[in-house]
Structure 1
Amino acid sequence: MTIRLHLSAIVLILSLISLIKAKQNDPGQFLVGAGIYDITGQVAEIGFMGYAVPKQRGHGLLQRMRSRAFIIGDVNKEENRVVYVSADNGMAFQIIKTEVVDRLNKTLGSNLYNDKNVLISGTHTHSTPGGTGGTALVDITTFGFVKENWEACVNGIVQSIMLAHKNLQLGRIKINVGQVDNANINRSPASYLNNVDRGEYKDNTDHEMTVLRFESIDGKTEIGMINFYPVHAVSLNNTNLLVAGDNKGYASYLFEKLKNPPGTLPGQGSFVAAFGQSNEGDVSPNLMGPKCIDTGLPCEFYTSTCNGKTEKCIAFGPGNNMYESNVIIGQRQYDVAKDLYDNAQVFLNGNSIVNFRHTYVDMQTINVSSRFTSTGHNETTCQAALGYSFAAGTTDGPGDFDFTQSTNSTNPFWQFVAAFLAKPTQQQIQCQAPKPILLDVGLIKPIEWVPFVLPHQIFQIGQLFMVGVPGEFSTMSGRRLKITIQQALQDAGTWTPDSHIVIAGLSNSYSHYITTYEEYQQQRYEGASTLYGPHTLAAYQQTFYDLSMKLARNESAPSGPQPFDMRGKTFSFVLPPIPDGLPINKNFGDIFTDVDPSYKPGDTVRCSWWGANPRNDLFTEKSYLYVDRFINQTWVPILTDGDIETRFLWRRQIIDNSIITVEWDIPVTQQTGQDLYRLRHSVLLSGFKNGDFESGSSIGWTIGGSSRGTTLSSLMKAQDYLSTGSADMASIANSHSSIVTSVNRHNLGTVMPKIVYVGTYAWRVEDIICGGFASVLSQQINSYYCLDIYFAWLAVLENSGH
């Protein structure tokens, strides 16, 4: 019996309405736990994963990457547990999933968390350190596998799961569904228009967001939140050089900041908020759409070109720049998630069922029944191949060569180049048609360029069904997959009006894109990147129908063929960092450019130091930077490199010198007053692995005063800060006349570490490297505190105290 897509779609919509309007039901009891851990890799020199642009290499950090883990368990059956992980990573890879499961087994001494019940999903940020995939195609633009980045991901995911395991408690879960408007668009509308069932849907992207609210069994303690919403994490384009979680990472940051106690530093709170990925294959956050950057006119509709070239056709977000767009799209997801979370009424119950099914499938050898194909005939999948439009890129990040989207013919030159890798067979050409094969990744030997054996996974948590897919499903592909799974559950007699399906995209492995049969014919980027031919989606539908039936009937699923284990078989041409050096007469941590003594809300504070390469140490669960506030006679960190308004910047100076810059965009709402602030940083010196850090601090400064100084009578006196033997200088500095008689021109620029000047005048001197000179900050104050300040007494006096 052929599945009737349009009738099933109506049933699905009616079920969603029933779910949204349902009255509060009896809560099910589950074991629930949440954990969060740092997975930030190398923030300097290493290429990013996502745009496949080799020149997009890290030069710093906008926001730390996190792994957010949730465990849901049956209170009566220990073996019935599922683990959902949302990682701020480009995608989840098999080489990561396999190692995570192995380490969990070794740590716990059991198979409690295994390949079948652990789901790892990537948020798909395109600003994450690369080289973690293991397969050649995804690692080639980072010059191979980067073990340090892979280890950071694996370790962080394991630690987040172990924290969730440690935090397990009796709890309950609420579900709510709503709409997010004006946060995504379809970046391949020409392909979407080919779909025969497009008339059954209002929009060409899914606007639906599903929110899960985790809380203690009595409802008094909030534990965490997961939501699923499809949008590419590409608000930051391929010119961005700062590691970041993009719009989903920012949304998680906002939610966790809201729910954890005031003053909690990022990643340190017990409340965990995951903004998970879904069927985002053709979905972009760049709402202004693609324009020709030379003319401002819309790009050609089918090919996304400007005068026949792709490189000038670029889509932009709603902000004035990519960083502002990132905040806007993240904020819009956060706003809806918060509303749905606050107003969630429906509990997951379903007799508190927690169950799962998992199988591996060789995607190159599937015979697909006519029941699932769009042609109405039995079909087969193909050996993996990428088409010409794959090299064209997308409007979110165009390619560098003369490829265009919607290309369905070959080019003799590129055929010649690609033949050196592998030459497609006639059977493969026919199977992949109308795709013109550029890279025959299914035949290239001896290393694995893309995975062939892929995981298919489905969880049941009460009336919720979570589907883990190893790739990027387009909007319509995701809709059809949901309909197929619903049909299976209906056929098995377990679907209810409250049942709900979510897709967890980019999970457990990565097989690029999955389009519908009709979208594949258009051969835009997504279709060209659908590896296993035009019937790839139908193959997924067939497998997930069978898997869902086995789940509903409580039957076991076949393990399937095992995927190729890439551990120990990767390649890398990534060189280690150059040993750190310094100019003559400079020390690590010396100031290159210091801050000003006073700022206003909305200003950007910036300080630079002679430093070291941050590749020397990832500072996992720590921070490269801090914004400190002087409270009760001590410096208290108020911001770290996990905060979105701070930036940690690195640049190479000459050959082996490094300049470290820390920036803070002071919020316009920042409180003004007499409080003192400072910037500081730390990195590890090359060759030292036992905590030999170099660090530096700016002078102290204030926010919002009309004066360029402040009264700080509560600060410690000068002699408390001066190094041994400097007490006399402190006493000399206690009177204006003493300064006149005791300091001459020879003392200009004298370095006095950890100085507090006590007396009638207090001032700061610009870093002498920059040729600065002293200026009076304020008069009639008792003390002024700063670190590593350069005193130039005479310059102040010669300037009449101004």
Structure 2
Amino acid sequence: MEIFPRGYSGIWLQIASVWFLVALMQNFRGSLSTSNYLIGLGSYDITGPAADVNMMGYANTEQIASGVHFRLRARAFIVAEPQGSRVVYVNLDACMASQIVTIKVIERLKARYGGLYTEQNVAISGIHTHAGPGGYLQYVVYIVTSLGFVRQSFDVIVDGIEKSIIQAHENLRPGSIFVNNGELLDAGVNRSPSSYLNNPAEERSKYKYDVDKEMTLIKFVDDEWGAVGSFNWFATHGTSMSRTNSLISGDNKGAAARFMEDWFEKKGRVENLDSQHANKSGTAKIPRRVSSIVPSINENRNEAMEVAASFKSSQGQPATRFSSVAKRVRNSLRLADRPQFVSAFCQTNCGDVSPNVLGAFCIDTGLPCDFNQSTCNGKNEQCYGRGPGYPDEFESTRIIGDRQFKKAVELFNKATEQLKGKVGYRHAYVNFSNLEVAQGNDVVKTCPAAMGFAFAAGTTDGPGAFDFKQGDDKGNAFWRLVRDFLKTPNQEQVNCQRPKPILLDTGEMDKPYAWAPAILPVQILRIGQLVILSVPGGGNIFVVFSFFLQRKAFDTNKSYIQRWHLVQ
């Protein structure tokens, strides 16, 4: 149940850009200086009810959970100056963040830690999987298909976030943070390329691709234990699993996170085994390597003896049975103290970025869908995007997750630029339904949210129903009549939303309570030269972008301030 702005430009981008620039200039003045950080990471289960609960994302009333593909987690990091500010960022294997969830989490943190963690310095975001339990948001438009609020969904997410932050807090230790970024080309495509082409050529010429293909990764390194985690941001939808799937899943990003955590756990075991077999001279224990040096011990015995003799012995030290056992016990206990490796694959400006990279095809004919309206013989229900594992959506999930994982490993291994400078944060509540924004020589004004007729057509990731079509700027009399039973938009709202015809005037509907938010919390977290902007709201908007102050000049045309995502 989504509407996304097409292309990179638009009023929301300008709002975010202007707001960010003002905050940056007013609150982050001063030169960057080297600073030692305390870093802590945590992870906790948030899977929720695995049966008889509607899933959040596709707004399909028939998509009811009936099992688990793999479990969901909340992953958190805390970065603090030893005697200064600290920030918390939580990434959820959920469709989106929720303002009511955030409020409850902050209440619990205040009860536990006093004023250490507040709405000012705690940011929560979701990976946008469409395969998690719904019913945990507070606005009607997000819980109508789940038939209202689902307490189980809500409680498990609140508990998981709180416990992930507690873990991160208890794991705070001196460490460093490194950043790296690069392009990932085969994990997302524009699912509405015709809409993107409607943007002015001058604007399109500013971008290399019709979607953002940059991944930004931060690597956390403990002073004692070495690497202990990573968080990265990359834009691709959590829709590798289709609207008919009934198994709870973190989709491609949740899969990527598991791949990377498993990879590091295996890598860490191997490195630890090597270190246990090393002596004081740093020479690894030879017998483990003989087979790779000499193919057969029984053949060419003389050559084998020469190879063995070439390894120089170390002085070593006397060993007793007791001391050997004691050393193994100490090593085991030490490993138990090692912080858990946490890797989060966060969402960013995924707008029209689909993981179904093979394109959209008609399921009845196998032919490509209509380019402009994503229909098959005039109907949207037959047009579906295909993932790289087609027709197996589980395989598509694995492949897109694997591609993000491999890119993240590459960036992780090559991350050498260290973040240095102050830790800071800014927070404000902004009324997005009544903002004046400069657009060239004109000043335009926002208005309350509204869903158009094209919204009901869905997307190629999850088609809608009835006779709705993408790109519809006309509407029809029958659905206007149905709309008016709920709320008839006034002329001011009609004029403000034009040329989009209004199907649901959600921003002005408040029966039995608000259908969509208008006032949203805007947060900026800063760690040295890295800035993260988050607007979780009620799942209505979230924005995440990185901005390298030391390397890049501020430029409203660059992608560093265009990592945004609007869900109405």
Q: Specify every segment of 5 or more residues in structure 1 that has no aligned partner in the other structure, as ranges.
A: 10-24, 490-494, 507-512, 515-528, 532-802
Residue matched to 1:420: 485
SS in 2 for 1:190: helix
Q: 1:283, 1:269 → 2: CA distance?
A: 35
CA shift at 1:423, angstroms?
0.4
The answer (yes or no) to whether the contact 1:469–1:505 under 8 Å persists in 2 is no
Residue matched to 2:427: 358
Q: 1:198, 1:73 → 2: CA distance?
A: 40
Summarize deviations over 1:322-374 as a string: whole Å, max 9, x none: 0000000000000010011011111001xx31001111111111122x2xx2x
Q: Using the aligned pairs only, state the percent identity.
A: 43
Distance change in 2, residues 1:98/1:36 (3 Å): same
Q: 1:269, 1:304 → 2: CA distance?
A: 48
- After superposition, where does 1:650-665 map in structure 2 within 5 Å? none
Higher helix share: 2
TM-score w.r.t. the length of structure 2 is 0.77
- After superposition, where does 1:370-389 map in structure 2 within 5 Å? 370=438, 373=439, 376-389=441-454
Q: 1:355, 1:173 → 2: CA distance?
A: 15
Q: How many residues are matched?
A: 462
Residue matched to 1:455: 521
SS in 2 for 1:294: coil
Distance change in 2, residues 1:503/1:380 (3 Å): closer
Residue 313 of structure 1 aligns with an amino acid whose one-letter code is: C
The answer (yes or no) to whether the contact 2:35–2:81 under 8 Å persists in 1 is no
- After superposition, where does 1:677-756 map in structure 2 within 5 Å? none
CA shift at 1:498, angstroms?
5.8
SS in 1 for 2:244: coil
The yes-or-no answer on 1:63 pairing with 2:70 is yes
SS in 2 for 1:420: helix
Residue matched to 2:274: none
Structure with greater contact order relative to length (CA < 8 Å, sep ≥ 6): 2
Summarize deviations over 1:534-593 as a string: whole Å, max 9, x none: xxxxxxxxxxxxxxxxxxxxxxxxxxxxxxxxxxxxxxxxxxxxxxxxxxxxxxxxxxxx
Distance change in 2, residues 1:239/1:221 (3 Å): same
Summarize deviations over 1:276-333 as a string: whole Å, max 9, x none: 0010011000001111111122111111111111000110101031000000000000
Residue matched to 1:30: 37
The answer (yes or no) to whether the contact 2:44–2:74 under 8 Å persists in 1 is yes
Residue matched to 1:628: none
CA shift at 1:443, angstroms?
2.0
1:81 to 78, 81, 86: 86
CA shift at 1:469, angstroms?
3.0
The answer (yes or no) to whether the contact 1:357–1:458 under 8 Å persists in 2 is yes
The yes-or-no answer on 1:224 pairing with 2:229 is yes
Residue 176 of structure 2 aligns with an amino acid whose one-letter code is: R
The answer (yes or no) to whether the contact 1:422–1:444 under 8 Å persists in 2 is yes
Q: 2:164, 2:560 → 1: CA distance?
A: 22
CA shift at 1:26, angstroms?
10
Q: 1:216, 1:37 → 2: CA distance?
A: 20
Distance change in 2, residues 1:149/1:415 (3 Å): same
- After superposition, where does 1:252-291 map in structure 2 within 5 Å? 252-260=257-265, 270-291=340-361
Q: 1:223, 1:216 → 2: CA distance?
A: 6
1:237 to 231, 236, 242: 242
Distance change in 2, residues 1:504/1:330 (3 Å): farther
Residue matched to 1:330: 401
Distance change in 2, residues 1:473/1:91 (3 Å): closer
SS in 2 for 1:391: helix
Residue 388 of structure 2 aligns with an amino acid whose one-letter code is: P
- After superposition, where does 1:531-546 map in structure 2 within 5 Å? none
- After superposition, where does 1:656-675 map in structure 2 within 5 Å? none
The answer (yes or no) to whether the contact 2:237–2:353 under 8 Å persists in 1 is yes
Distance change in 2, residues 1:216/1:111 (3 Å): same
- After superposition, where does 1:273-352 map in structure 2 within 5 Å? 273-320=343-390, 321-349=392-420, 352=421
- After superposition, where does 1:592-631 map in structure 2 within 5 Å? none
2:551 to 497, 501, 506: 497
Supply the RMSD in Å over aligned alpha carbons: 2.7
Residue matched to 1:138: 142
The yes-or-no answer on 1:168 pairing with 2:134 is no
The answer (yes or no) to whether the contact 1:131–1:144 under 8 Å persists in 2 is yes
SS in 1 for 2:343: strand
Residue 405 of structure 1 aligns with an amino acid whose one-letter code is: Q
Worse-superposed segment, 85-94 or 251-260? 251-260
Q: 2:161, 2:536 → 1: CA distance?
A: 18
Q: 2:185, 2:35 → 1: CA distance?
A: 31
Residue 240 of structure 1 aligns with an amino acid whose one-letter code is: N
Residue 250 of structure 1 aligns with an amino acid whose one-letter code is: A
2:494 to 429, 452, 467: 429
Summarize deviations over 1:722-770 as a string: whole Å, max 9, x none: xxxxxxxxxxxxxxxxxxxxxxxxxxxxxxxxxxxxxxxxxxxxxxxxx
Q: 1:214, 1:102 → 2: CA distance?
A: 28
CA shift at 1:70, angstroms?
0.2
Q: Specify every segment of 5 or more residues in structure 2 that has no aligned partner in the other structure, as ranges.
A: 1-10, 18-31, 271-337
**Larger radius of gyration, structure 1 or 2?**
1
Residue matched to 1:215: 221
Residue 396 of structure 2 aligns with an amino acid whose one-letter code is: S
The answer (yes or no) to whether the contact 1:408–1:434 under 8 Å persists in 2 is yes
Residue 464 of structure 1 aligns with an amino acid whose one-letter code is: L
The answer (yes or no) to whether the contact 2:54–2:64 under 8 Å persists in 1 is yes
Residue 345 of structure 2 aligns with an amino acid whose one-letter code is: F
Residue matched to 2:100: 95
2:160 to 145, 156, 170: 156
Residue 57 of structure 1 aligns with an amino acid whose one-letter code is: I
Summarize deviations over 1:235-264 as a string: whole Å, max 9, x none: 00111110000000000001111222669x
SS in 1 for 2:517: coil
Residue 276 of structure 1 aligns with an amino acid whose one-letter code is: C
Q: 2:112, 2:446 → 1: CA distance?
A: 39
The answer (yes or no) to whether the contact 1:310–1:399 under 8 Å persists in 2 is yes
Residue matched to 2:465: 400
- After superposition, where does 1:461-540 map in structure 2 within 5 Å? 461-470=527-536, 495-497=549-551, 514=566
SS in 2 for 1:302: coil
Residue matched to 1:50: 57
The answer (yes or no) to whether the contact 1:276–1:504 under 8 Å persists in 2 is no
CA shift at 1:200, angstroms?
1.7
Q: 1:454, 1:38 → 2: CA distance?
A: 27
Summarize deviations over 1:45-103 as a string: whole Å, max 9, x none: 111000000111011001111000000111221xx111011000000010111111111
Q: 2:528, 2:460 → 1: CA distance?
A: 40
Q: 1:505, 1:242 → 2: CA distance?
A: 30
Q: 2:417, 2:339 → 1: CA distance?
A: 26
SS in 2 for 1:71: strand
Distance change in 2, residues 1:496/1:115 (3 Å): same
SS in 1 for 2:205: helix
CA shift at 1:445, angstroms?
2.4
Q: 1:114, 1:257 → 2: CA distance?
A: 32
Q: 2:139, 2:346 → 1: CA distance?
A: 24
The answer (yes or no) to whether the contact 2:99–2:536 under 8 Å persists in 1 is no
Residue matched to 1:733: none
1:193 to 192, 197, 221: 197
The answer (yes or no) to whether the contact 2:171–2:339 under 8 Å persists in 1 is no
CA shift at 1:497, angstroms?
1.9
Q: 1:227, 1:312 → 2: CA distance?
A: 35
Residue 206 of structure 1 aligns with an amino acid whose one-letter code is: D
Q: 1:217, 1:498 → 2: CA distance?
A: 29
Q: 1:503, 1:269 → 2: CA distance?
A: 33
The answer (yes or no) to whether the contact 1:28–1:347 under 8 Å persists in 2 is no
CA shift at 1:164, angstroms?
0.2
